[in-house]
Amino acid sequence: MDFILDLAGYTVDRPLHDMRLLEPSFGAGDFLLPAIERLLAAWRSAQSAGSVVDALSDAICAVELHHETFFATRVEVIERLKLEGISTQDALALVERWLVAGDFLLVPLDGQFDFVVGNPPYVRQELIPAALLAEYRARYQTLYDRADIYIPFIEHSLSLLAASGHLGFICADRWMKNRYGGPLRRLVADGFHLKIYVDMVDTPAFHSEVIAYPAITVISREATGATRIAHRPAIDRVTLAMLADALRVKHLPQEAGPVREVARVANGAEPWLLESSDQMALIRRLEKHFPSLEAVGCKVGIGVATGADRAFIGDLDALDVEPDRKLALATTRDILSGEVQWRGLGVINPFADGGGLVDLREYPRLCRYLEARRAVI
């Protein structure tokens, strides 16, 4: 998390006590607690007059929806402040000003922020109550098609950035190329600068595998310019500190090691091409010599999107339904080597060839299978 704070510019050599930081979904405090340490260090270094509460009460705004998580992290923040020599009374006063219990997409927040950092929640639309989803759609133009909830989180965070402010998020990178990310890509292209992109795929970026295709993105409210790009860094403090310096240096040297610079990445709603040089060369060659998939009649989708994988996906041979009601399924893991190495998965197919659902009276095994999983479905 220190790496992302560094990339966003939230560093102790700046007057952080005179600036504002927003954390839209603070969870267990993975970003919030290091940010507080940096804030206190910068404030003490400045030797500002006045009380800590007066000086810092407006420096942080952190939001969390989950009730138990909110209060557990609140205790952690108070204890961390006390360890830093701040009285219990002042620590309580600060957390009252800093921490907000509520839904970031709905709760009103005052003012703008110089920094927005964090890991926005990854929640599919199917898990959101219909009335709440409708309210989100009414408020956020980027909640388009099948966009996950982290998309409006990015939109709202960008809307709260002050002039020259920086957003630093780690989240799934699918929106940078797919259909539902189009409105957000256009929003960034029209009013912001895609400053830094770090591909974190196949790196231990989290304590557990919570995000597929993770990437760190830094977006600023500045005039558009070139994008600094790095791929799959080693996850150790020294390497990341050196990489942060290389990504943030004012003028990128000709021999910049793992960092390269690409102009005009954000272009309206067009997909962002951020791959390594050899991957880009391959993409351009394929574009030159072959038609697009759509041009030859292929339909491209986002996956099976069953909404209940536990019920609909399993070992193909073990799925106890009629043979024509299940299909072999290849997933990302089956093609990691560049070739299809099928692991034997299958997916239930309840759809008739002519459209609509099949008549379960004609498929007793499928009927029994689905009834046994009614609660999951």
**Annotated domain spans of the chain:** 2-280, 309-372
Q: Which two tokens stand for residue 225?
A: 């310019």
Mind listing the pLDDT tens digit of every residue in the chain (377 residues)?
999 999 999 999 999 999 999 999 999 999 999 999 999 999 999 988 789 999 999 999 999 999 999 999 999 999 999 999 999 999 999 999 999 999 999 999 999 999 999 999 999 899 999 999 999 999 999 999 999 999 999 999 999 999 999 999 999 999 999 999 999 999 999 999 999 999 998 887 655 455 678 999 999 999 989 999 999 999 899 999 999 999 999 888 877 789 999 999 999 999 998 876 677 788 889 989 999 888 999 887 767 888 899 999 999 999 999 999 999 999 888 988 888 999 999 999 999 998 899 999 999 999 999 999 999 99
Q: How far is the C-alpha of 359 from the C-alpha of 153, rounded, in Å?
A: 41
Q: What CATH code would you report for 2-280?
A: 3.40.50.150
Q: How far is the C-alpha of 164 from the C-alpha of 220, rounded, in Å?
A: 6
Q: How far is the C-alpha of 84 from the C-alpha of 227, rounded, in Å?
A: 38
Main-chain dihedrals φ then ψ at residue 289, nearest 5 degrees: -105, -10
Strand order of the sheet with strand 99-101?
99-101, 60-64, 21-23, 113-118, 161-172, 214-220, 193-199, 227-231, 260-262
